[in-house]
């Protein structure tokens, strides 16, 4: 017991001694701002770094991820949404501070999506026409004001995170009986006529990063195992994903090619993290409107 406590204190000492180093450079690359992060390695640190950058509406054009034992180094080539370098010193300083906090473990999901003055409703079920209208009608009837709502659909499934407050007081909803009523009525709406078992509702007072939580909800719902109920919309930029398992070396190589967008890297890293994989080496590149990723992953 004492030896275990010593190990815990040693881990804390290592993190304290290895002060994260964040360097933001505009001189290295002519087309983008280079953000370099060196720090002690910990689970989820890559996801948190990517989250910081994407939450600030930065586009990651290139990235090089490398780790060695207890240490990791991430290099990101970023631009604003107009494709320009970052020149505002206040923005640069803010990024440095956030990434340093994240590396020290002082940054938590949700800090950039702060709905701490509301109650979070988590909904999953079968998607259908008019479902959201029914959900919002129930909330209105129960005197709930919607502060924010995000909805994802895939393979005929829906995941939604809705932040609500009491319509009369503007405060979070804490009445236990009212919370139970909200859950029961929304569950009936989500069930519809043919989804008796898989509809789920829950209420949380915790502050969470919205898109991170939606990833977790979709993964827990195992939407990827279901056959599409609704016809998918054809795309002119197909996604190509291949996985090579190098069992003798203890890792897998994941190749992703897709149309580039602001949160593509965030979504890929979220998915791998939810599946229990750690990215220890990776290269990310964009050519035109296409994104290319090669990730070396091990099972956590």
Look at residue 188 and tell me if it is in a domain: yes
- 260 near 289, Cβ under 8 Å? yes
Please, which residues have CB within 8 angstroms of residue 156's CB and are 6 or more apart in sequence?
126, 127, 226, 228, 229, 230
* Domain match, 144 and 92 both: no
* Domain match, 134 and 43 both: no
Look at residue 46 and tell me if it is in a domain: yes
* Domain match, 132 and 190 both: yes
pLDDT of residue 248: 82
Stretches where the chain sits below pLDDT 50 are 1-4, 109-112, 196, 229-235
Q: List the CATH number of the domain containing 124.
A: 3.30.70.260
Burial of residue 279 (CB within 10 Å: 0-12, 13-18, 19+) is buried
Global pTM value:
0.78
Q: How far is CA 228 from CA 153, 154, 158, 223, 236, in A?
A: 11, 8, 12, 9, 19
* Domain match, 200 and 266 both: no
Task: Give the C-alpha separation, 55 to 49, whole Å.
Answer: 10
Query: Of 186, 206, 226, which closes a domain?
Result: 206
* Domain match, 102 and 140 both: no
* Domain match, 90 and 140 both: no
pLDDT of residue 231: 47
Look at residue 156 and tell me if it is in a domain: yes
* Domain match, 72 and 147 both: no
Look at residue 235 and tell me if it is in a domain: no
- 162 near 202, Cβ under 8 Å? no
Beta bridge partners of 203: 121
DSSP class per residue in 163-192: EEEETTT-S----HHHHHHHHHHHHHHHHT
* Domain match, 7 and 25 both: yes
pLDDT of residue 199: 78
Query: Of 175, 206, 237, which closes a domain?
Result: 206
Task: Give the C-alpha separation, 222 to 180, whole Å.
Answer: 26
Domain that holds residue 133: 119-206
pLDDT of residue 3: 44
* Domain match, 107 and 124 both: no
Closest residue by Cα to residue 130 from 192, 51, 75, 199: 192
Look at residue 90 and tell me if it is in a domain: yes
pLDDT of residue 109: 46
Query: Of 169, 188, 206, which closes a domain?
Result: 206
pLDDT of residue 169: 92
Residue 213 backbone dihedrals phi, psi, to 5 degrees: -70, -40
CA atoms within 13 A of residue 199's CA, in its CB half-sphere: 19
Task: Give the C-alpha separation, 168 to 170, whole Å.
Answer: 6
Angle at 130 between CA 129 and CA 132, to 5 degrees: 115
Look at residue 163 and tell me if it is in a domain: yes
DSSP alpha helix (H) spans, 129-240: 131-141, 176-191, 210-221
Residue 31 backbone dihedrals phi, psi, to 5 degrees: -115, -10
Strands 59-68 and 71-79: antiparallel
Type and span of the H or E element at 161: strand 157-166
pLDDT of residue 176: 92
pLDDT of residue 36: 93
What residue has token string 């909200």? 182
* Domain match, 201 and 127 both: yes
Residues 204, 206, 207, 210, Cα dihedral to 10°? -30
pLDDT of residue 111: 46
* Domain match, 133 and 105 both: no
**Total tally of structural domains belonging to the chain:** 2
Look at residue 100 and tell me if it is in a domain: yes
Residue 49 backbone dihedrals phi, psi, to 5 degrees: -65, -45
* Domain match, 22 and 73 both: yes
Look at residue 56 and tell me if it is in a domain: yes
């Amino acid at each position: 017991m004492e030896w275990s406590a010593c190990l815990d204190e040693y881990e804390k000492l290592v993190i304290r001694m290895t002060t994260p180093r964040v360097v933001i450079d505009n001189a290295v690359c002519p087309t983008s701002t280079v953000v370099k992060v060196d720090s002690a390695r910990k689970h989820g640190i890559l996801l948190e770094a990517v989250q910081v950058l994407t939450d600030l509406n930065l586009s990651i054009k290139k990235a090089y991820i490398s780790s060695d034992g207890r240490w990791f180094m991430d290099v990101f080539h970023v631009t604003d949404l107009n494709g320009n370098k970052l020149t505002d010193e206040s923005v640069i300083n803010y990024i440095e501070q956030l990434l340093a906090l994240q590396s020290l473990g002082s940054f938590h999901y949700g800090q950039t999506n702060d709905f701490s003055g509301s109650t979070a409703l988590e909904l999953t079920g079968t998607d259908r026409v008019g479902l959201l209208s029914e959900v919002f009608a129930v909330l209105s009837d129960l005197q709930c004001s919607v502060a924010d709502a995000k909805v994802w659909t895939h393979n005929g499934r829906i995941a939604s995170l809705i932040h609500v407050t009491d319509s009369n007081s503007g405060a979070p909803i804490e009445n236990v009986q009212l919370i139970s009523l909200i859950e029961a009525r929304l569950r009936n709406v989500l069930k519809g006529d043919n989804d008796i078992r898989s509809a789920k509702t829950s209420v949380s007072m915790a502050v969470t990063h919205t898109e991170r939580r939606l990833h977790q909800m979709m993964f827990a719902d195992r939407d990827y195992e279901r056959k599409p109920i609704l016809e998918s919309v054809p795309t002119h930029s197909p996604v190509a994903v291949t996985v090579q398992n190098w069992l003798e070396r203890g890792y897998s190589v994941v190749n992703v090619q897709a149309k580039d967008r602001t949160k593509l890297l965030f979504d890929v890293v979220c998915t791998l993290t939810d599946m229990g994989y750690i990215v220890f080496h990776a290269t990310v590149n964009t050519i035109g409107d296409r994104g290319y990723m090669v990730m070396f992953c091990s099972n956590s």
